[in-house]
Amino acid sequence: MSTADLFALFLHFLSLSVFATGGAMALASDMHRYVVDDHAYITHTQFVNSIALAQAAPGPNILFVTVMGWQIAALPGALATTLGIAMPALIFPFVISRLSRMQQFDRLLKALQRGLGPVALGLMASTSFLLVRQVPGAWIGPAMIAATVLVLSYTRLPPLVPIAVAGAIGAFVPW
């Protein structure tokens, strides 16, 4: 991968980060288009692996972006994606200190929360839809997804439990 490609990758993640309303996972469908569909830097399976590994490892889920970058171009790739997602946040304190002097700051905050919440939900649904469509295994994959949703919705078990169990089962069933 050339330096120019790396820089473009960094810029893409940088510009995406600004729109991350409701977390980095909401951006997955855009990231997928860039790194899998348009540039074929990694395969769909590698893309899903990044998400799975980041959720299984300690640390915030946003690190799936780091794993993705690592799979694309080792350390330079990981730096490009991670810094791209994290760096725009560094300017916020300045923006906020300006805004908070505004008379109706509380109203603005509430309006942003109320207005962006449903958009964020639509984005998470889009990410879910993208990943569900290409799940591996004729029935075992869908069954594991359904079981995870049920376990996480109706018990208080931490997410790591279904991920570990599905990983252990997955190692020994034919896919």
Tell me which residues in 130-159 interact with another protein (CB under 8 A): 130-132, 135-137, 140-142, 144-149, 152-153, 158-159
First to last CA, the chain: 32
At position 82, the amino acid (one-letter code) is: T
Query: Counting contacts by CB under 8 A, is residue 165 touching another protein?
Result: yes
User: What are the tokens at 69?
Assistant: 């970058």
Question: Smallest distance, Å, CB 75 to another protein?
Answer: 8
Which member of 102, 118, 155, 157 binds another protein (CB under 8 A)?
Answer: 118
At position 135, the amino acid (one-letter code) is: V
Query: Counting contacts by CB under 8 A, is residue 81 touching another protein?
Result: no
Please report the sign of the dihedral spanned by the C-alpha atoms of residue 154, residue 29, residue 169, residue 146: positive
At position 96, the amino acid (one-letter code) is: I
d(C-alpha 73, C-alpha 39), whole Å = 13
Query: Counting contacts by CB under 8 A, is residue 88 touching another protein?
Result: yes
Question: Smallest distance, Å, CB 38 to another protein?
Answer: 11
Query: Measured from the CB atom, is 7 or 121 closer to another protein?
Result: 121
Question: Smallest distance, Å, CB 5 to another protein?
Answer: 19
Report which secondary-structure segment, H or E, holds 151: helix 140-154
Give the torsion through C-alpha atoms of 112, 90, 51, 59, to 10 deg.
Answer: -110
Which member of 2, 3, 103, 113 binds another protein (CB under 8 A)?
Answer: 113
Query: Counting contacts by CB under 8 A, is residue 67 touching another protein?
Result: yes
- Tally the residues of the chain: 175
Query: Measured from the CB atom, is 5 or 140 closer to another protein?
Result: 140
Query: Counting contacts by CB under 8 A, is residue 121 touching another protein?
Result: yes
